[in-house]
Amino acid sequence: MNYELVIEGGQPLHGSVKIKGAKNAGLPIIAASLLMDEPAVIEEVPDLMDVKTMLAVIKALGAEVNYNSQAEMIATNAINLQSAEPPEDLMRKMRASFLVLGPLLARFGHARLSLPGGCAIGTRPVDLHLKGLEAMGVEFSYASGLIEGKTSRLQGASVYLDYPSVGATENLIMAATLAKGSTTIENAASEPEIVDLAGFLNSAGARISGAGTKRIRITGVAQLGGTRYAVIPDRIEAGTFLLSAAVTGSEITVKNVLSDHLKPLLAKMRETGVEIDETDLSAIRIKGSKEKKCVDLKTQPYPGFPTDLQPQFMTLLALSGGSGFVTETVFENRFRHVDGLVRMGADIKVEGSRAVVQGVGKLSGAPVEASDLRGAAALVLAALTAEGITRITGLEHLRRGYSGFEERLRSLGASIKLESNAQLRREIASGE
């Protein structure tokens, strides 16, 4: 059954919302559990489609998986891994599936898998993953659309990443954990999710230092034990809720955050006129303003402004009283939400990797279709403040990265409900 979100805009938000564990930390951590010789327990893993996909991948490889989605806790046991060939359909479903490559090479010395899929936000190659692994002694070949990697034993190496790719840094950390000797990753990604992955592996006996900086050093160990580890709060989910208050001019408290991880967003939000009170280290009180100043925005690797909040921030800019540039430097095709925003009355023009946003003060409800995960969130935020009713389809994107999104927005006072898709019902009835 196809569903759509029906949102009646204009309701102010109030109250508080608790942020869940980080999707982008949970996914590599689940992949990393493949490296362990004893059971691992991973806590604070939100109930998301992407999490289910990653669990299906490691299960298909022979790991035992026990997921209590209500308790948001996963127990894995990868002692009896049997396969180094993850199923193609799961690989194509989500780009993060490619994160099993490093662990499989470390465990088996070989792996065969298809190129990853995921959100349609650019070409997203994996050359940096492969180059780094080649430096560690892996030989890759390609046949029938699959990549096969082989090595007699992973060797520590000195790797310089041409670009601080998050996924490449993670794959290399995981491969290096069980490699012979030491590995240095220069120009590594320094996102908080990398620090969390290293924390997880170190808690099971890995020797990783420098995670969170541009230079990560990993000393290979013979084997890892087990561990119990809680994933960090999701900075992108936190940012999305903070922006929901900014967009609607509301006052809410966002709990269970690590405000240090949100610095680039908070700085930009303050520039637009939003009041932010970092009440303590784990909660942020935000008071949106009716008058929103427009600012320029440029996405960058951490600690720059996160590309995963660019679409949601663009909704705020679309409502401002001025004009600003949004420059996307991380992905080349991340403006797919613009069509929907324009349908709702926004004035946004895309020129290559830059969008020119002319604030319009208010938006109006319209039927719109989400085409990627964070773009879907941007449309929901727009709908919360738009005049009239907005119907949003393409919800499978939203489900990949937000758990209980509409329920939690409803508990903040939003008028938002899930309905079966009327258009589809009509088509089925008329036999189309």
Active site positions, annotated: 119
Distance between CA atoms of 377 and 338, rounded to whole angstroms? 12
- Nearest alpha carbon to residue 13 among 241, 334, 208: 241
Say which residue the tokens 């996405």 belong to.
299
Comparing CB distances to ligand UD1, the nearer of 168 and 284 is: 168
Comparing CB distances to ligand UD1, the nearer of 17 and 27 is: 27
- Residue 24 interacts with ligand UD1 (CB under 6 A): yes or no: yes
- Residue 197 interacts with ligand UD1 (CB under 6 A): yes or no: no
Comparing CB distances to ligand UD1, the nearer of 160 and 163 is: 163
Comparing CB distances to ligand UD1, the nearer of 126 and 297 is: 126
| Minimum distance, C-beta of residue 127 to ligand UD1, in the bound complex (Å) | 5
Q: Which of 20, 112, 124, 391 binds ligand UD1 (CB under 6 A)?
A: 124
Residue 351 is encoded by which pair of tokens? Answer: 């020129």
Using CB under 6 A, which of the segments 118-126, 174-182, 339-347, 363-371 binds ligand UD1?
118-126
Binding to ligand UD1 (CB under 6 A): which residues in 85-104?
A: 95-96
Tell me: cis bond preceding 87? Omega within 30 of 0 counts.
Answer: no
| Minimum distance, C-beta of residue 308 to ligand UD1, in the bound complex (Å) | 5
| Minimum distance, C-beta of residue 361 to ligand UD1, in the bound complex (Å) | 30
| Minimum distance, C-beta of residue 374 to ligand UD1, in the bound complex (Å) | 8
Say which residue the tokens 């508080």 belong to.
16
- Nearest alpha carbon to residue 312 among 419, 393, 401: 401
Using CB under 6 A, which of the segments 164-172, 176-184, 342-350, 416-424 binds ligand UD1?
164-172
Binding to ligand UD1 (CB under 6 A): which residues in 326-355?
A: 330-331
Q: How many residues bind ligand UD1 (CB under 6 A)?
A: 22
Beta strands in 191-334 (DSSP E): 207-209, 215-219, 227-230, 251-255, 275-280, 283-287, 297-298, 323-327
191 touches 214 (CB < 8 A): no
The number of beta carbons lying within 10 Å of the beta carbon of residue 416 is 23
- Residue 310 interacts with ligand UD1 (CB under 6 A): yes or no: no
- DSSP-based three-state secondary structure for 237: helix
Comparing CB distances to ligand UD1, the nearer of 256 and 307 is: 307
- Give 34's contacts (C-beta < 8 A, 6+ positions apart): 58, 61, 63, 78, 81, 100, 103, 104, 107
Residue 346 is encoded by which pair of tokens? Answer: 């926004």
Residue 200 is encoded by which pair of tokens? Answer: 């997880």
Distance between CA atoms of 215 and 217, rounded to whole angstroms? 7
Say which residue the tokens 């790991």 belong to.
63
- The residue number whose beta carbon is nearest to ligand UD1 equals 167
Comparing CB distances to ligand UD1, the nearer of 95 and 343 is: 95
Q: Which of 14, 15, 79, 125 binds ligand UD1 (CB under 6 A)?
A: 125
- DSSP-based three-state secondary structure for 98: helix
- Give 39's contacts (C-beta < 8 A, 6+ positions apart): 75, 76, 77, 226
Q: Which of 89, 127, 275, 407 binds ligand UD1 (CB under 6 A)?
A: 127
- Residue 229 interacts with ligand UD1 (CB under 6 A): yes or no: no
Q: What are the two backbone dihedrals, phi and then psi, of residue 233, each rounded to the nearest 5 degrees?
A: -65, 150
Using CB under 6 A, which of the segments 52-60, 66-74, 126-134, 204-212 binds ligand UD1?
126-134
| Minimum distance, C-beta of residue 11 to ligand UD1, in the bound complex (Å) | 29
- Tell me which residues touch ligand UD1 (CB under 6 A): 24, 27, 95-96, 122, 124-129, 163, 165-168, 189, 193, 307-308, 330-331
